[in-house]
Chains A and B, each alone.
Chain A
Amino acid sequence: GEDVEQSLFLSVREGDSSVINCTYTDSSSTYLYWYKQEPGAGLQLLTYIFSNMDMKQDQRLTVLLNKKDKHLSLRIADTQTGDSAIYFCAETSSGTYKYIFGTGTRLKVLA
């Protein structure tokens, strides 16, 4: 079946850039998402990208999509302590109701 994989942990220093990576197996993915989960909270949608796009930028966030390699990344510029959270990658295909989530990457920002 379809799968989404992420590394479990990432640690960066405040002010540096963070890059969180995700790979997926479903070649029919239409939308790919990044969600942020802070401790004790639900999932907050950060950004998403259509599968026909290579890049999307939204303030400090840059999403890169390599469809050939089925690789998605989220870059956070000027990472702040408030960015410490778990980041989930997810994908879905248009016309289906299944979302496939990765296991989440725990980002720790060191002051």
Chain B
Amino acid sequence: NAGVTQTPKFQVLKTGQSMTLQCAQDMNHEYMSWYRQDPGMGLRLIHYSVGAGITDQGEVPNGYNVSRSTTEDFPLRLLSAAPSQTSVYFCASRGSTDTQYFGPGTRLTVL
């Protein structure tokens, strides 16, 4: 099992550009989520999904969209990037137990 994978590892965007952060898991987990990590603020939940076709907002959803067309994939879209979205983004998944497993992260810089 590869676990939770994320691409790209690093990305630089200009203000106003759009992009999609990819996340995939091969553990057949129903629950997937996106977090952002900022210095001194820990991890904050952006969006989550409890299964294919079902998504919901987390703590900081503004400026981000998600979709869940398959169990494996949970992409995060930035429609119009802003400097405030400079952060490290982590995707996570969880199976029948309540333990989350994290991907390696995407480091995003918005200029």
Contact = CB atoms under 8 A, between A and B. Distances in A.
A103 interface: yes
Nearest to B38: A103
A104 B99 contact: no
B77 to A, nearest CB: 20
Nearest to A99: B100
Contacts of A53: none
Majority DSSP secondary structure for residues of B touching A: strand
B42 A92 contact: no
Interface in B71-108: 90, 92, 98-105
B111 interface: no
Given A42-B105, A43-B90, A30 B98 contact: yes
Chain B interface category by residue count: 20 to 34
A24 interface: no
B105 A103 contact: no
Majority DSSP secondary structure for residues of A touching B: strand
B87 to A, nearest CB: 14
Interface stretch (B11-19, B43-51, B60-68): B43-51
Given A31-B98, A92-B98, A97-B31, A42 B90 contact: yes
25 contacts: A4-B42, A30-B98, A33-B99, A42-B4, A42-B103, A42-B104, A42-B105, A43-B90, A43-B102, A44-B102, A45-B99, A45-B100, A45-B101, A48-B99, A88-B43, A90-B43, A92-B98, A94-B98, A97-B31, A97-B33, A97-B48, A97-B56, A99-B100, A101-B43, A101-B44
